[in-house]
Amino acid sequence: MTAGDNLFGRLLGRTSAMPADTPVANLTGLQLQLDHLGRVVTINGTLRSQLASHLGGDARPLLRELLCASSALSVEGSPADWQRQGLDLDFRGAADQVLHTRGWVEPDGDHWTLRLVDVSDLLAGRQLAGHREQNHQLSSQMSEQLRVCTLSRLPDVLNEHLASLAQRWRIPCVAMALLDEDDQGWRIYGQYTAHDAPALWQAGQRLGTGLDSVNGNVPLSLAQGRSDNPRLQSVFGNADGFLVPYRDGQGIAAWLLCGVYSTQSQTSERDWLNLTAALAAPLLGRLREQRHHQQLERVEALQGLLGTGWWELLPATQEIQLAPQLQRSLSQDDGATRQPLSLWLELIHPADRQELNSRLQDLQALGKPLLTSVRLQRSDADHNPIWYRVQGQVLGVGDSRRWIGFMLDISDIKNQQLQAAAAHARLDNLIASSPAVIYVQRYVSGALHPAFFSDSLLPLLGWTLADCDHAGLASLIHPDDRDLYFERTRQLLREGSVRSRYRVRDKQGNYHWLLDEAKLLRDDLGLPVEAVGLWLDVTDATLAAEQVKQSEERYRILVEDSPAMICRYQPDLTLTFGNTPLANYLECLPAQLPGLNLGHWLSDEQRQAFVQRISQLSVEFPVSTAEISLQLPGREHAWWVWSDRGVFDEHGALVEVQAVGRDNTEVRRSQQQLTQSAKMATLGEMATGLAHEINQPLNVMRMAIVNVLKRLSNGDAQIDYLTEKLQRIDAQVQRAARVVDHMRVFGRRSEIERHPFDPAQAVEGTLSLLSEGLKGKGVEVRLTPADFSVQVIGYADQLEQVLINLMVNARDALLSQREKQPDLRPWIAVHTEHDSRHVRIWVEDNGGGIDPRLLERIFEPFFTTKPIGVGTGLGLSVSYGIVENMGGRLSVSNGKDGAQFCVELPVVGS
């Protein structure tokens, strides 16, 4: 064995010592001369410059002081103890580097010589080999797991491998980017980010085409290439990192991205390429396999939806092979994909079978492409035929020729074509028999020239297309309408559509009004091509519209010149139309009436009653008439007699109200004056009773004063006596004052607006004026007090006037009857009753009643049974009108003892 072989063996650790006779000149590296205690005497050799410290002066450090801590334990003791041992020593080198050495100790006179060689490359190679072995094992493990895992777990398994990769090499961010075949860009398929690292990527994130600019031959350090690769700055978020490509037969198909990280020397570029390939190759294979299966599923689904599939003709066996999906579409579920050609032809309808067989023979013999449409032989084929498009061609030459094709279900298209053809025929027939004339005008040199007229032109006008050419058509237009026709053409070319009406002369010389509707068709460049339109004879409609227009004009004149107020308004009383008389009353112009509200001139009570009355209109009872009171500009009050008619839609909802009114103010004022006159006449007739009603308390007061004065003159003035007399005088004064006040209230004019009141108030007021007078004349008043309280709408003083008239008439009748029957004890009874809708006040007497022949005339004006000069004959007539204006009814009948008058009034809210 040579010295070199022995040295290689010692470097590998196979020998423990080196022969003493090994020449020193053959050794290079580091020689240290040591004393017997292990102190360094001298240092020589080529590696001396790489040590951290050198000997200087008399310094003799111990050998272990020059070593790293891990090697210091290997040289404990003296050099004599180290003989015949291989020593692996790590010296502290310059710049904090470690110098790895291997050597031995041999005696050198009084000293010892430690001979060492540098084994750093050997150790680095061994470490690199181990590292590569680990990388290979890791790559194999990752690749195998990606190949065997399910497709659903493929993303999770990849993320797990990326996490282990990041943790092994301490990479903060790592991701796998794949080429997105949909948009030809890059997309992050999987990624891992340490908890303390920035999130550079997300799964599914699109990276665009920025990676296409990178040279994929070797891994690229982004930290070194920022200025040269500005498009990668956005991919790595301006952080350090590098990316490793994976290349297959189609080019770069994947990138391994390592962010916030720089490459290290212990991992070579080849290792990174292998690791990337171990991840990307099985991943892409599984994904492409998945896409392939999805594509097959889509093709099968598409074939099922379209009813299509491939077929191949086998001439040698006279068989045909069908795609499974096509076989199912043809309702052949026996499972055999091959069948005799004759059996397949039996599926075709007899009308198409011979043609298809002939074309198949041409395909085999002549190589002529096959293209035809056939129907299937079905029991319901006559009603719902199933059509297939059959196409075939020859592939290859010589002995490698193949005859293949496909069948496509075109039943919908074919049936639609047949239906369209039938519809087209029906449309042609309809156009020919239609009253409208359909025409087409071609655009030629800036003008429209007639190119087609439907057959209905001849029976309508008697002309043909030759008669209605470009020059002749204009001459058929009425002279007054030619400008309109030319403007119609300009508008059609300008706007693309037009609608106009003009007159055209027929062959007999008569003019027809035609409604012309046309539309301009343009090409892809927007240039006019032709105009399509129709003529519709609207002569009768035009003449009828003219007559309606004339009728409407006459109606307008009638409405405007009418003395009555005519208007239309919505259910909320907003006017939509009003004639001149209404505008004059409201002191505005007729054009200003639409939008005004009638409620503006009504009080709250009148408006509420008006709206309530309108809401009660219905289809069965659309008309309502009432008298309304308004506050007009410049006038105190006005009364209108107002008639409304509702207009309803198809659902019975009120849409509009048409109204006619007349001014009833003068008549109403005359009625008020008549009522006031009758009231004053009643007061005159009651003068005697009222005088007695006032004299009675005066007499009581006079007697009380005489008694008081007599006591005072006698000196017998007691306080209690005087107090009692003064209280009696005060009570009689109040009694007289009430009578006077009630006379004043009763005698004044009634209010304009009606108000709710209790009818018991009118009964009480009537008795306060008449009861004492009736008692003085010997007439008993029998009052049945009402035990209820209701409200009616009207005027309390007018109801009181009615009751006074009834009781005064009863009093006069009773006094006249007593003259004939002195033993008669006259009485007048007043009682009140009510139900849910009405209140009734009865006034009865025992005067024997009224002559039945006079009952029908009792309420006529100026009719009276009293002697001349005693009565006016207006009391009952006025009373009847008052009750009627309050919405009630005054009636009379003869009872058991005498006349019975009934005042019936509606209750508020009934």
601-612 per-position pLDDT tens digit: 888 888 888 888
Residue type, 221: S
> Which is more confidently placed, 553 or 266?
553
Q: Check whether residue 895 and residue 814 sit in a common domain.
A: yes
Q: How confident is the model at residue 869 (pLDDT cuts 50, 70, 90)?
A: very low
For the cut 90, the answer to whether the pLDDT of residue 497 exceeds it is yes
Find the mean pLDDT for residues 139-155: 87
The tokens 């109606």 sit on which residue? 555
Cα(732)–Cα(695) distance, rounded to whole angstroms? 10
Question: Which of 143-147, 472-476, 543-547 has the weakest average pLDDT?
Answer: 543-547
pLDDT score of 744: 55
Evaluated on CA atoms 736, 741, 744, 745, the torsion sign reads negative
pLDDT score of 819: 85
> Tens digit of pLDDT for each residue in 315-326?
888 898 888 878
Beta strands in 119-240 (DSSP E): 173-180, 185-193, 206-208, 220-221
Q: Check whether residue 182 and residue 285 sit in a common domain.
A: yes
Q: Check whether residue 314 and residue 287 sit in a common domain.
A: no
Q: Residue 33's beta-bridge partner residues?
A: 42, 113
Q: Check whether residue 267 and residue 161 sit in a common domain.
A: yes
Find the mean pLDDT for residues 298-304: 75
* Three-state DSSP class for residue 197: coil
Angle subtended at Cα 870 by Cα 866 and Cα 874, rounded to the nearest 5 degrees:
75
Residue 552 lies in a domain: no
Helix axes 719-747, 759-776, angle to 10 degrees: 120
Q: Name 441's Cβ contacts closer than 8 Å, sequence gap at least 6.
A: 448, 449, 450, 451, 518, 530, 531, 533
For the cut 90, the answer to whether the pLDDT of residue 701 exceeds it is no
Residue ending a domain, choose from 275, 295, 315: 295
> Which is more confidently placed, 467 or 219?
467
Q: Check whether residue 724 and residue 831 sit in a common domain.
A: yes
Helix axes 875-885, 665-685, angle to 10 degrees: 130
Q: What is the DSSP string of 99-120?
A: EEEEEEEEEETTEEEEEEEE-H
Find the mean pLDDT for residues 40-52: 83
CA-nearest of 663, 665, 661 to 645 is 661
Contact predicate 806/868, CB 8 Å: no
pLDDT score of 517: 92
For the cut 80, the answer to whether the pLDDT of residue 738 exceeds it is no
Question: Which of 329-333, 381-385, 566-570, 720-724 has the weakest average pLDDT?
Answer: 381-385
Contact predicate 470/449, CB 8 Å: yes
Q: Identify the burial level of 233 via C-beta atoms within 10 angstroms of its C-beta, where 0-12 means exposed, 13-18 middle and 19 or more buried.
A: middle
Cα(385)–Cα(376) distance, rounded to whole angstroms? 7
Q: Check whether residue 94 and residue 183 sit in a common domain.
A: no
Evaluated on CA atoms 81, 84, 86, 87, the torsion sign reads positive
Contact predicate 499/507, CB 8 Å: no
Q: What is the DSSP string of 631-658?
A: --TT-S-EEEEEEEEEEE-TTS-EEEEE
Both tokens of 503, joined, read: 């007159």
Residue type, 290: Q
Share of residues in the chain with pLDDT > 90 (%): 12
> Which is more confidently placed, 384 or 593?
593
Find the mean pLDDT for residues 569-576: 90
Q: Provide the CATH number for the domain around residue 595.
A: 3.30.450.20
Q: Check whether residue 619 and residue 715 sit in a common domain.
A: no
Q: Check whether residue 724 and residue 647 sit in a common domain.
A: no
Q: Check whether residue 771 and residue 752 sit in a common domain.
A: yes
CA distances (Å), origin 423, targets 420, 544, 583: 5, 36, 61
Mean pLDDT over all residues of the chain?
A: 79
Cα(487)–Cα(440) distance, rounded to whole angstroms? 18
Question: Which of 19-28, 40-49, 61-70, 865-874 has the weakest average pLDDT?
Answer: 19-28
CA-nearest of 773, 821, 813 to 894 is 813
Find the mean pLDDT for residues 801-826: 86
Residue 751 lies in a domain: yes
- Eight-state DSSP code of residue 611: H
- Eight-state DSSP code of residue 510: -
The tokens 């046309």 sit on which residue? 518
Residue 555 lies in a domain: no
Q: How confident is the model at residue 7 (pLDDT cuts 50, 70, 90)?
A: very low
pLDDT score of 675: 61
Find the mean pLDDT for residues 282-300: 85
Q: Provide the CATH number for the domain around residue 187.
A: 3.30.450.40
Find the mean pLDDT for residues 859-872: 58
pLDDT score of 903: 92
φ/ψ of residue 786, rounded to 5: -80, 135
Residue 76 lies in a domain: yes
Q: How many domains does the chain have?
A: 6
CA 706 to chain centre: 96
φ/ψ of residue 696, rounded to 5: -60, -50
Q: How confident is the model at residue 215 (pLDDT cuts 50, 70, 90)?
A: low
Residue 638 lies in a domain: yes
Instruction: Domain of residue 503: give its range.
Output: 434-543
pLDDT score of 478: 92
φ/ψ of residue 381, rounded to 5: -65, -30
Contact predicate 814/808, CB 8 Å: no
> Which is more confidently placed, 738 or 155?
155
Beta strands in 5-86 (DSSP E): 30-34, 40-44
Cα(348)–Cα(355) distance, rounded to whole angstroms? 10
Cα(630)–Cα(582) distance, rounded to whole angstroms? 13
Cα(569)–Cα(560) distance, rounded to whole angstroms? 17
Q: Check whether residue 102 and residue 145 sit in a common domain.
A: no
CA-nearest of 519, 531, 482 to 503 is 482
Cα(238)–Cα(231) distance, rounded to whole angstroms? 10
* Three-state DSSP class for residue 463: coil
Evaluated on CA atoms 665, 669, 670, 672, the torsion sign reads positive
Q: Name 204's Cβ contacts closer than 8 Å, sequence gap at least 6.
A: 187, 188
Residue 300 lies in a domain: no
For the cut 70, the answer to whether the pLDDT of residue 158 exceeds it is yes
Cα(531)–Cα(621) distance, rounded to whole angstroms? 55
CA distances (Å), origin 509, targets 462, 469, 476, 477, 684: 10, 18, 9, 11, 90
pLDDT score of 392: 92
CA torsion angle 174 176 177 182 (round to 10)? -140
Residue 781 lies in a domain: yes
Find the mean pLDDT for residues 354-379: 88
Q: Check whether residue 25 and residue 151 sit in a common domain.
A: no
φ/ψ of residue 92, rounded to 5: -75, 115
Cα(855)–Cα(804) distance, rounded to whole angstroms? 20
Contact predicate 145/34, CB 8 Å: no
Question: Which of 230-234, 307-311, 426-430 has the weakest average pLDDT?
Answer: 230-234
> Tens digit of pLDDT for each residue in 435-487?
688 899 999 888 899 988 888 888 888 888 888 888 888 889 999 999 999 99
* Three-state DSSP class for residue 174: strand
> Which is more confidently placed, 383 or 96?
96
pTM of the full predicted structure? 0.37
pLDDT score of 505: 92
Q: What is the DSSP string of 853-907?
A: GGGGGTTSTT---SPTTT--S-HHHHHHHHHHHTT-EEEEEE-SSSEEEEEEEEB
* Three-state DSSP class for residue 232: helix
Number of Cβ atoms within 10 Å of the Cβ of 832: 19
Question: Which of 482-491, 493-502, 661-670, 875-884 has the weakest average pLDDT?
Answer: 661-670
Q: Check whether residue 528 and residue 584 sit in a common domain.
A: no
Residue ending a domain, choose from 390, 416, 442: 416
Q: Provide the CATH number for the domain around residue 770.
A: 3.30.565.10
For the cut 90, the answer to whether the pLDDT of residue 902 exceeds it is yes
Residue ending a domain, choose from 246, 263, 295: 295
Residue 477 lies in a domain: yes
Number of Cβ atoms within 10 Å of the Cβ of 404: 15
